[in-house]
Amino acid sequence: MPEMTFEVRWPDDSTQRCYSPSMVMHDYLSTGADYTVAEFLDLSSRALAEASDRVRAKYGFECASAADTRARIRNTANQFPLDAVITITTMHPELEQS
């Protein structure tokens, strides 16, 4: 299962590197895109849940790293207003363009 990382720039200009066990993050987020904290919480939570479901379907158990990433994102997001803006600075690997 192809895993990936993505980086978030928070409203205070700090960055956070995040892990996903699946490339499904590309279905929810885009490199260079801005999201409100509320949107990012929703999208990243749904994407990481789907990624964890894919791990469960393949291996028979949820991905603890996806749950940890969700918790880390939620903990950091709690420091900011829900309407503050974050940016996805990188997603690696990027999707191949066809």
Report CA-CA distances (Å) from 78 to 9, 11, 51, 68: 15, 12, 23, 15
| pLDDT value, residue 1 | 64
List the chain domain ranges. 4-92
Question: What is the DSSP secondary-structure string of 6-43?
Answer: EEEE-TTS-EEEEEESSGGGGGT--TT-EEEHHHHHHH
pTM of the predicted model, to two decimals?
A: 0.91
- The 10s digit of each residue's pLDDT in 73-86 is 999 999 999 999 99
Report CA-CA distances (Å) from 72 to 30, 67, 68, 77: 20, 9, 6, 8
Residue 41 has pLDDT above 90, yes or no: yes
Structure tokens at 43: 């999208």
pLDDT-based confidence at 87, cuts 50/70/90? very high
